[in-house]
A and B are shown apart, each in its own frame.
Chain A
Amino acid sequence: MIEWFTTVQVIVACAAGILCLVLGLIGRLPGDVSMGAVALVELLLLAQLVIAIIAPAVGNNPSGSLAEFYIYLISAIILPLAGGFWALIERNRWSTVVLGGVCLAIAVMVYRMGQIWFVQGA
């Protein structure tokens, strides 16, 4: 795990979450902006997965439990696919709010992943 990348990821996920919540609460349907924000968050998660696979091989080992780290990472990757698109089956403003909720949940999970990698057991 790379510290600055993780920080950027938490900030992007928070920003995307707040953006979607606001768009949803003012009555917008899911559109290019909200879906694009969620797609960006998902893309960063996939990058994080690649980093997590490579990191231990180049000497960047987690201080905490790698298994716990992966439980969070895999759940986070599934979340926009399962939660987000279930909301989009019925497209209305609340679908946009759920997309915001997905991003905020991911922000918390990435923060926890950072703690597991850098703080836990150190």
Chain B
Amino acid sequence: MSHHTTSTRTNPDPSAPRRRMSGVGRVLVFVYGVLALAATGRSVFQIIDRYHEAPVAFTLSALAAVVYIVATIALIAPGRVWYRVAWITISFELAGVLIIGSLSLFAPAVLGLHDIDPFGRDATVWSVYGMGYLFIPLVLPVLGMLWLRRHPPVDAPAGEVMS
């Protein structure tokens, strides 16, 4: 019985920062935060104001908003667990923007949408691959994955405070 730990394949890189979220990473987190804010604000309003018009699309919109919030937190929070959460949420976003984007374009009826206008009143953050949000929802998960790949979690000594 062998217990393989991840430490057997550590990648020694003295230039890697101890804190995961510094420098250009802050820009990434900032854009994630803005997207989380945009998706949350829009979906909350859509659900309160006109949920009955497109329940499937608006529920997905809210789900997307929650995932963006969790992804933003996961990018900031240290440790291996949050690192994994970041991978899961960012992969989910990429799948979401590709699947929902395709559905909104080729089969809008599946989502209960009346049109494919990415700027319209039924639009979600993922409609037409995030066109209404300058395609940021399509580009951001890819940038996030590249960033996560280059910044694997660092085992910080217990009690170290992330500033």
One of A29-37, A39-47, A52-60, A64-72 contacting the partner: A64-72
* B41 x A101 contact (CB < 8 A): no
Q: Mark A74-118, 1 if CB is under 8 A from B, else 0.
A: 010001000100110110101101100110010000000000000
Bin the interface of chain B by size. 10 to 19
Nearest 5 interchain pairs by C-beta: A98-B30, A71-B41, A105-B34, A68-B45, A94-B26
Interface of B is mostly: helix
Given contacts A65-B49, A83-B33, A105-B34, contact A98 B27 (CB under 8 A): yes
Binding site for B on A (CB under 8 A): 65, 67-68, 71-72, 75, 79, 83, 86-87, 89-90, 92, 94-95, 97-98, 101-102, 105
Binding site for A on B (CB under 8 A): 22-24, 26-27, 30-31, 33-34, 37, 41, 44-45, 48-49, 163
Give chain B residues whose Cβ lies under 8 Å from the Cβ of A86. 26, 30
Interface of A is mostly: helix
Give chain B residues whose Cβ lies under 8 Å from the Cβ of A105. 34
CA of A90 to CA of B34, assembled, Å: 19
Given contacts A83-B34, A89-B163, contact A67 B24 (CB under 8 A): no
| B21 and chain A: residue at smallest CB distance | A90
CA of A71 to CA of B24, assembled, Å: 29
| A68 and chain B: residue at smallest CB distance | B45
